[in-house]
Structure 1
Amino acid sequence: MNEMTTELWADVSGLSTADTPAALAHARNSEITTLVLRQAQLADWEPLERIRIAVVGNASELALLDDQRVGVLIAESPAELDGVRAAALGRPLGVRCEIADAAGMNLAAEMSGKVDVVIAAFVDETNIPLELLLASAQGTTTKVFKELLSSAEAVSVAGVLESGPAGLVVRADHLSDLDRVAQALRAGREDRKELVPLEVYRAEPVGMGYRGCIDTTTLFGDDEGMIVGSTSAGGILVCAEVHYLPYMNLRPFRVNAGAVHSYVFGTERTAYITDLAAGERSHAVSANGRFREVSVGRVKVELRPLRLIAARHGDVEVNVFLQDDWHVRVMSAEGKPLNLTEVRPGTKLLGHIVEPGRHVGIKVAEQISEF
C-alpha cells in the first residue's frame, strides 16, 4: 500500500475558449486536487476551496500574473524555467518536461532539486524511464508527476516503485477518464491484511450499555463491515447493515459497531468508537481481508441491550460487545453473515489479530495485559 497520497491533476490548458467552461464544470465534480490552466482561462473559473489552481505558460505570459487564486506556476518547458521562476514570487514552481528520448529524460532528471514539481510527459506508455526519474528525485524536495496518455496507465503507474509518482495528470483530451483514474488511485490506497478464523467460547447477554452505530459516506458491499473489538489484540468482523431486514429499510452506509469502549481497527491506526466523528477516517473491511479507507459521517450512540461474544485464535483471545438483536450480523469464518443471536460457543467467526499494545490508537512496543 502506498503510504503517500497520490494527487490527481486535470490539465485543461490546451482547450479553446469555447471548450473551457464545460471542462471546468466537469473538473469541479471530480476528485482532482489541482486544476492546470492558462492565464486566459482564469476568468472562467469560480474558486473552489478543495481544488488548487496551477497556471502553465512561458515567461512572457506569466511575467505579469497577479492572481491570489493561483497556487502553483508551471513553466511549459525547461527553457522557460528561469523566466517563470522570476514571476513565481515565492509560489511553488513546476516545469513540464516532454520526454521522447534520452536527452529529454536527462534534462527532466536535472530538474530535480531545482523545482517543486516536475510533470513528466512521456511520448510512450513505459514505466522504466519514470522509475529513473523517480530515482533521481529521491533525496530532494521535488515531486514527480506523470502525465497520462490514457486512463489505462493509471493502474500500473500508481504502483511504480514503492511510493509511485507524487501525482498523475489527466490531459484535457482525456477528461472523461477522470473518474476511472480516481478509482484506480483509490484502489492503490487499499490494503490487505490477514483475517483468521476465531472460535467462539462465550456468547451471552450482559445487560444494558451504550452502543455506537458508525454511519459513513460510503456504501458497503455484501461482504464488508468493520473490525471491532474490546482489546488491542484484535477484533471480529461486524457486518454492515446491507442484509435483509423484515421491519425496516437497510442502512448500507452503517455498521452497528458495538459498545462505546470498543476499538475499530484500521490499517495503521485504531480508534475508539467514541473518538470517531464526522470527517474522521476509518476502514471498511471485506471478508477477503481488503481494508479500504472510508469517511465517517456521524456516530450515533444509544442505550441498548448488549451481548458479549468472546472468541480465540490459538492462544489469542478477543471479544466484542454488540447490540443484542438478531438483525446485528457478524461474519462467519466462511465469509457468510450470521445473525448475532445464532452465535454459540463453537461457532467460527472471521476476525483480525494484531500484536497488542496501543497508545492513542498507535501501536507501541510495550507489554500489556487486557482482561
Structure 2
Amino acid sequence: MSSSPQTALWVDATTLTPGETPDALAYLRSSAASYLVVRHDQLAEWQPIDRLKTALLVGAGDESLAEQIATDERIHMVIARTPADLPVARALAGQRGVGARCEIVDGDTMNEAADLSGEVDVVLAVFADETNIPLELLLAKAQSTRTDVVKQLLNTAEAHTVAGVLESGPAGLMVSAEHLSAVDLVTQVVKEHGQIRKDLVELEVLRAEPIGMGHRGCIDTTTLFGEDEGMIIGSTSSGGILVCAEVHYLPYMKLRPFRVNAGAVHSYVFGAEDTAYISDLEAGERAHAVAADGTFREVGIGRIKTEVRPLRLIEARHGDVTVNVILQDDWHVRVMGGDGKPKNLTDVTPGSTLLGLVTEPGRHVGIKVSEHIDEH
C-alpha cells in the first residue's frame, strides 16, 4: 500500500462577478491554491505566479478566442464547460492539457463522466449529492489512466471525508472563490492528507536482551498496513525503530494487518510532527503509519490492546545518537532491518542493522521543546 499523493487545491473563480474578481484574485496569489479556474474575460485581472497554474473554462461560442488563447502563456490548461464542449476545448488547447467540468446528478451523467477516463487530463466533478459512492466509482474508473479527478466541494465539512476516499482520494479538491475563507480551511485538510517524508537512518544494534515481564500494547488501527509499513517506536525522544505491522507470515495464527505490536506501554509512538505515549492513545485518535522509504501517512486508532508479556530490549546507535525500544520478546514480532526487509525480533543481535528515526531529543507532552532533557 503506497502513501497518499499530494492533493491539489483548485479554486473556481468563474462564478465571481466583474466587481468581485480583482480582490479575490489578489487574495489567491498568496493562498496555497495550486490551480485557478477562470473565464476568459477575467484574465485581464490576473497577474500569474509560477506555483499557481491557470485553467481556462470554455464552451460553445468561444471558438473566436483561438488566436488570443494560442498566444496567452498564462493558460496552462483548457477546461470544457460541459462534456459536450470538449471539441471546442481541444481545438483551443493546442498542446496544453484538456479537461472537462461534469455535473453529476444521476446514473447517466455519472457514466458520461466515467467514460472520459483516459480521454482527458482532468475531470472536474460537480456532484449534486454529498454521498461519496459516485466519487468512488469515478476514481476507480480513472485509476491507472492519465485522468485526474478533482472533486468540487459542496461545503468545507466534506473535505476530510472526501480527501480519503479510496485511500488516496481525488487528485484535487475544488472550492469556490466566492467563499475565500474556505480556501484556508481546505488548505489545512490538503496538508493533513498530503505525503510527508522523513529521512530514516540505519542503526547499529548495541544490545539485544530479555528484560523480564511487563505490559505491552498493540496498536490496532482502522487501516491496513502495507508490507513495508509499521510505526516508529522508541523509549526516548531521541528517536525510535521501525516496528513492522503484523502483515508477515505467522505459522500458528492469522495475520493482523491492521496491527502493530508496539511494545512496552511507556513507549513513544512517533508521528510526522509530534509523539504520543502508547498508553495515551485512544480510539478515534490519529497516529502515523511509516514506510521503509520514510513516508508517513495518517491512520486512525481503533483500540489499544494491553497485556502482560515477556519483554526484550533493543538498543541501537546512529552516529552519536542512541535509541532503544522494548518489545514483546517473541520471534513473531518483526522490526525493519537496515536493508528495508523485516527481521524476526529474536534474530536481532549486536551488530545487526535496523531502520529507524533519529530526532533532536527533548519533548514535553509529545511536543519538541528547547530545553535540556536527559533520557537514558
Distance in 1 (CA, whole Å) between partners of 2:299 and 2:198 is: 16
Task: Give yes or no for the alignment of 1:104 onto 2:42.
Answer: yes
Task: Give yes or no for the alignment of 1:170 onto 2:104.
Answer: no
Deviation, 1:195, is 0.7
- For 2:293, the equivalent position in structure 1 comes to 288
Distance in 1 (CA, whole Å) between partners of 2:249 and 2:370 is: 43
Is the contact made by 1:190 and 1:293 (CA closer than 8 Å) also made in structure 2? no
Distance in 2 (CA, whole Å) between partners of 1:251 and 1:287 is: 19
Paired amino acid for 1:170: A
Q: How does 1:273-312 map to 2 (within 5 A)?
A: 273-312=278-317
Distance in 2 (CA, whole Å) between partners of 1:287 and 1:79 is: 51
| 280 and 75 in structure 1: CA distance in 2 versus 1, 3 angstrom threshold | same
- For 1:255, the equivalent position in structure 2 comes to 260
Task: Give yes or no for the alignment of 1:331 onto 2:336.
Answer: yes
| 351 and 105 in structure 1: CA distance in 2 versus 1, 3 angstrom threshold | same
Is the contact made by 2:14 and 2:38 (CA closer than 8 Å) also made in structure 1? no
Distance in 1 (CA, whole Å) between partners of 2:238 and 2:117 is: 40
Determine helix, strand or coil for the equivalent of 1:297.
strand
Distance in 1 (CA, whole Å) between partners of 2:208 and 2:73 is: 53
Determine helix, strand or coil for the equivalent of 2:338.
coil
Determine helix, strand or coil for the equivalent of 2:209.
strand
Paired amino acid for 2:260: V
Mind listing any 5+ residue stretches in structure 1 that lack a counterpart? 12-73, 82-96, 110-119, 131-147, 158-167
Task: Give yes or no for the alignment of 1:361 onto 2:295.
Answer: no
Distance in 1 (CA, whole Å) between partners of 2:73 and 2:313 is: 52
Deviation, 1:336, is 0.7
Distance in 2 (CA, whole Å) between partners of 1:238 and 1:209 is: 18
Distance in 2 (CA, whole Å) between partners of 1:108 and 1:269 is: 40
| 149 and 230 in structure 1: CA distance in 2 versus 1, 3 angstrom threshold | farther
Determine helix, strand or coil for the equivalent of 2:370.
coil
Which digits, 9 at most, give the CA deviation of each residue in 1:264-293, with x for residues without a partner? 111111111112111111111111111111
- For 1:370, the equivalent position in structure 2 comes to 375
Task: Give yes or no for the alignment of 1:206 onto 2:206.
Answer: no
TM-score for both structures, normalised by structure 2? 0.58
Is the contact made by 1:189 and 1:293 (CA closer than 8 Å) also made in structure 2? no
Task: Give yes or no for the alignment of 1:226 onto 2:165.
Answer: no
Deviation, 1:364, is 1.2
Q: How does 1:140-179 map to 2 (within 5 A)?
A: 149=100, 170-172=125-127, 175=135, 176-178=137-139
Mind listing any 5+ residue stretches in structure 2 that lack a counterpart? 21-35, 48-53, 59-71, 77-98, 102-115, 129-133, 144-148, 150-162, 173-189
The aligned length equals 254
Deviation, 1:216, is 0.7
Q: CA RMSD in A?
A: 4.0
Task: Give yes or no for the alignment of 1:236 onto 2:197.
Answer: no
Is the contact made by 1:105 and 1:129 (CA closer than 8 Å) also made in structure 2? no
| 213 and 237 in structure 1: CA distance in 2 versus 1, 3 angstrom threshold | same
Find 1:314's aligned residue among 311, 319, 322.
Answer: 319
Deviation, 1:258, is 0.5
TM-score for both structures, normalised by structure 1? 0.59
Fraction of identical pairs, as percent: 59
Distance in 1 (CA, whole Å) between partners of 2:73 and 2:309 is: 55
